[in-house]
Amino acid sequence: MRPYDSDRLTAIAIALSAEKRLGALLDLILSEAMSLTHCDAGTVYIREGEVLRFGNMVTLSKGIRVTVSDEGGDVLPPVPLDRHHVCACAALDKRIINIPDVYSAADFDFSGPRRYDALNAYRTCSMLVVPMEDERGRCIGVLQLINAMDDEGALIPFDAGYEKIVSALTSLAAVSLNNSRLSKAVYDILHSFVTVMVDAVDARSPYNANHTRSMVRCAERFLAWLDETGSPLRFAEEEKDPFLMSVWLHDIGKLVIPLEIMDKPTRLGSAGERVLSRLCIAELSERLRAATRPEEAEEALRESERLRETAALIRRANAAPFLDDDTLAALRALAGQDCLTADGARVPLLSPDELESLCVRRGTLTTDERKEIENHVVYTARLLGQMRFGSDYASVPLWAGAHHEFLNGSGYPEHLSAAQLPREVRLLTILDIYDALTAEDRPYKPPMPPERAFSVLESMRDEGKLDGELLALFKRSGAWKKD
């Protein structure tokens, strides 16, 4: 038996605790155990329910090395937990099984190794099978080592002296494997929560349904392009997912924005039908007055025609992307005018709120409504601030809540400046504006073609609002192109 330095066990314990990737973790376990026992082959099995699933496998003399992917997936069919299989027996009984020569062992079904030997011109001889027990005594896997060798490479039985040290190694590995699983479970829960929240935002508004997903696709492509080109602004692997998380969550505050504001397709919104109905009734009432009061007919017909023209003006203004000065003047002239109701009373033709909504020069939102929409970033930061984003994800609430800030301090809600806006926020802002400009599902405007959208973005760069270097890279990357 070769001596084993306790410092080496300490070092491997540290390495195991630091590794979170399943494939790399299993490779570390297997490589260290094989090096310790000086054997030719080995397999790590992971217990899932009533089967043992193949993890990593190595056969040095055949140049075989199979590493399970972090996404899972079976390398070979799983081994059922019954006593015909030595690895299953070790798991069920939680005991070490040391077999000098499998061809002389009658207690287990070794037809699998024999088939492997026949197909690969191999000779499976000695075997050491060690259950991997975690800190609570649960067997979560099995380490199976094959063909111990002496210094000249001859096959020999596994020295019994290795059993305790390999068992200690597998116990460390089991704890690390549990931690890896827990880390993945937390990761999966977090991402599932994000997907649910984004679906909730999307379900509220058909006009926002594609925005976040479109931004995420664009961001993923851009990050990949930065890697491919070796850009100095590329993201480290541990930085990518937190940034993408901030993209997924940047509009989560829209959950609390009233739908009548968020989905307002016209200036009057839900009040449009009421206003036009009022004008229609007033016009009909004037016609009725002309028919029943001959002495007032001329005046009533003039009023009827005026109301019809007013209704046409309101319809045009209500849906127009932009109002010129003449249209605004015509609308403002309606202030203080009244009209007939069905019972002959006179009421204001437009309320102050209705007139204010109609007189929005660009878009559909009044000043107060726009402020409410802008508050979605405040709500985003507030909602995410109540979650515990640790480690690499600690800045997600800040990045997500700052995506309407500009480098020159003219953004909102905090009017942050360049020194306060990291690369992640700068990129998120560019992605958000580009997608908003080119979106095909906005009720209040047609989509811009990419060249015009980049012209707008470059104007904002020239005004000191956007990061010019990131914008140039984003444009050159082509990540924004539609599938």
pLDDT at 482: 84
pLDDT score recorded for residue 168: 83
pLDDT of 70 above 50: no
pLDDT tens for each residue of 116-128: 889 888 999 999 9
pLDDT at 72 over 70: no
Please tell me which residue, 465 or 8, carries the higher pLDDT value: 465
pLDDT digits (tens, 9 = 90+) for 172-228: 777 777 777 776 777 777 788 888 888 887 777 766 668 888 999 999 999 999 999
Which H or E element spans position 211? helix 211-229
Structural domain boundaries of the chain?
6-181, 205-260+372-477, 266-363
Instruction: Give the pLDDT score at 78.
Output: 87
CB atoms < 10 A from the CB of 24, how many? 16
> Looking at residue 65, what is its pLDDT?
87
- Model confidence band, residue 464 (pLDDT cutoffs 50, 70, 90): very high
Query: Euclidean distance between the first and final Cα of the chain, in Å?
Result: 61
Is the model's pTM score more than 0.75?
no
**Is residue 269 a contact partner of residue 368, using CB atoms and an 8 Å limit?**
no
Task: Let me know if domain 6-181 sits in CATH 3.40.50.150.
Answer: no
Q: What are the pLDDT digits (tens) for 148-178? A: 999 899 999 999 988 988 888 888 777 777 7
pLDDT in tens, 91-108: 999 999 999 999 988 888
According to CATH, the topology of domain 205-260+372-477 is Hypothetical protein af1432 (1.10.3210)
β-pairing, 346-348 vs 97-99, is unpaired
Which among 284, 261, 39 is positioned nearest to 146, based on CA atoms?
39
- With a cut of 70, say whether residue 254 has pLDDT above it: yes
The pLDDT of residue 172 is 78
What tokens does 462 get?
């020239």
